[in-house]
Structure 1
Amino acid sequence: MEETVPSVEAYEAAMVLSGVGDALGYRGGRWEYCTSGPQIHAELAELGGLEAITLQPPEWPVSDDTILHLATAEGLATGTSQLRPGEPGGYRIPFNPTGTGCGAAMRSLAIGLRYPHAWELPTLIRVSIESGRMTHHHPTGYLGALAVALFGALGARGEPPERWGAELLRVLPLAWDYVEGAGVAVGDNAAAWPFFGDAWHRYLESRGLLEGRGPPQVPSLPSPAERDAAYLGWALEGWPGRSGHDAPMVALEALLAAGGCWEDLCARGVLHGGDNDSTGTIAAGCWGLRGGLAPVPPGLHCCLEHRGRLRDAAHRLHALAWGRC
């Protein structure tokens, strides 16, 4: 099937809005660590809503999520791939039974933008897993990186979000083949492997998306409290969006529910109780591939910290991925 070539503006929107979702959800640490979606939305109303906000330091800096995403994007554009070049396997760390966090997931959208083609799937699997387990050597952690990279690739080539989860389940056995073949802590990885796929199978089944066909059966969840309760049901250790499995899950839920509405995307994927700067980075970045910058209030992106670097990284990634198409 012929792939749709995305515009460079779509890549720019994806990278810039990933920073917007981060800065908005972070709010200098005030909202990142807030467990109450209702409180966040009440404070947003006091600020005058999204239209009244200008995201810029010192009140609205980006967090480490954007810094690490930028580092990943710029590394992909320049060829950097190792933490300790020259030392065999120097970028690998031991298996970590607690390495389930979303830190690998929130920085991996750029991997999908760099390797968006269907024929590049083995490379996307390898790069996302190895990038992920540089810091999160646990399947729940590094498979989050694979999920977000895959969502970026699918979004870049025009696949609608209702297909993304089913494709992720299809790719997981290929990911295991890679992990087993790499021969690093295979026993530990095998023992911890099932949780991620089982969690995603349950989620997709509940949304009628196991086969990747719509329309998705997404509950309305009109209030912040209802969304908090739903996301809490997917979470580890009572912190929605904190882990590698549920950060992309919250982001996908927001994309499915919001469609083309930026405000709904923010309400569901960014402004909730939990690790909302990480889910915001993923959700807003993926949304940008389809929605672009035009529907977004200018104050949210025109003065964004590191906007120029995000834009430049997007242009380089687009040229590398699609320049010969």
Structure 2
Amino acid sequence: MLLSGAGDALGYRKQLWELNESGPAIHQELRELGGLKSIKAELPDWPVGADTVLHLATAEGLATGKAGEELLHEVAARYVEGMKDMAGRRPGPSSISGVSQLKPGEEEGFRVPYSAEGTGCGAARRSMCIGLRYPKPDQLLSLVAVAVETGRMTHPHPTGFLGAVASALFTAYAVQRRPITTWGLGLLSEACPIARSFVRGRGFAAEEAERDWDFFCDQWQRYLDSRGLSYGVGPVSWPPTYGPGERDEAYKGFGPSGRAGRGGHNAPMIALDALLGAGADWEELMSRAGFHGGDGCAAIACCCWGLLYGAAGVPDGNHSNLEYRDRLERSAEELYALSR
């Protein structure tokens, strides 16, 4: 939870890097700042972004221990409250629109109408904690159900809410210590079929979701094929040169969304790509997941990385005075207690 927030703040840089379309330019500015080790991620210059505020809303809702529709109303209420804390944080249009339509406490008040526009990355970037609440293989049904329902509170299109499933799933896989090369295959062969059956069974916007379902899975299959991971065994196939400029071009090609990392399909895709390439190197992870053109995906990648490698290799300044550090740590402890 803590490193997810740190990655978000570092990649966001008070909107400056979030809005920068050039990875090489961001890396040049990073060098001028003295490198990642020189950055103290603290207010006023390094606030967390909208991702962390809404991730905390999800986590603190889950930490209440509620279940079923009671949990969904709780999370919806926390999204409404969280949206009051968005000055300077740049929430996405689907998150703004979706939360504005939520009516927690009213019948079906945790649902919003289906929208073909709800394909963005916002749900994916606030759902990692669902994998902390339901980290065990035998909890996959609960993980998928909660990710789908909380994801489509703002992103009712499958491309949007399946991004939430992906982020939650990858977090659970990190807890389970599943080889990273198997994560994408698990998403397509295990979680997505469960999500499809769940949506059909619930009956809400089932026809629309069915009509628009395949794009997410098709883009993920295309990515896995390109990396040699269709069977989950590797070795990973990388381009001969894959620096900041090449990654910018590659990320733009991870499914059409007009901006790298903007879609619910390609935000967790970039995060997984970064995890596959960085290994235990925090600076390399941030280079790949946070410091690129388009929407940074470090909130997702850093959550999984922290579970795999801990915080020992992370410069203290990157997280010691992080905004909302106490809340992030407290919610993590509460989720851990519930998951045991």
Equivalent-residue separation in structure 2 for 1:85 and 1:107 (angstroms): 19
Judged with a 3 Å threshold, the aligned counterparts in structure 2 of structure 1 residues 69 and 221 are, in CA distance, closer, same or farther, namely farther
Listed as ranges, the matches of 1:1-325 within 5 Å are: 15-78=1-64, 79=66, 80-82=71-73, 83=76, 84-170=103-189, 171-219=191-239, 221-276=241-296, 279-322=297-340
Give the distance between the partners of 1:29 and 1:199, measured in 2 at CA: 28
Q: Is the 8 A contact 1:55 1:61 kept in 2?
A: yes
Runs of 4+ in 1 over 6 A off after TM superposition: none
- Who is 1:9 aligned against? none
Q: Distance in 2 between matches of 1:186 and 1:64?
A: 29
SS for the counterpart of 2:72 is: coil
Q: What CA deviation, in whole Å up to 9, does each residue of 1:166-194 have, x standing for no partner?
A: 00001211211110111011111111100
Normalized against structure 1, the TM-score is what? 0.92
Which is further off, 263-272 or 228-237?
228-237
- Given residue 72 of structure 2, which amino acid in structure 1 is its aligned partner? S
For each residue in 1:121-155, what CA deviation from the matched residue of structure 2 results, as whole angstroms up to 9, or x when unmatched? 11111100000000000000000000000001111
TM-score calculated relative to the size of structure 2: 0.88
Alpha-carbon deviation of 1:218? 2.9
1:238 positional shift? 2.2
Note the C-alpha offset of 1:308: 1.0
CA contact (8 A) 2:257 2:263 kept: no
Q: Which structure's relative contact order is higher, taking Cα pairs within 8 Å and 6+ residues apart?
A: 1
1:184 alignment partner, SS class: coil
Residue identity over aligned pairs, in percent, reads 53
Other-structure match for 2:82: none
Structure 1: runs of 5 or more not aligned: 1-14
Question: Cα RMSD over matched residues?
Answer: 1.1
1:218, 1:253 within 8 Å by CA — same for their partners in 2?
Answer: no
**Contact preservation (8 Å) 1:147, 1:168:** yes
Unaligned 5+ segments in structure 2 are 77-102
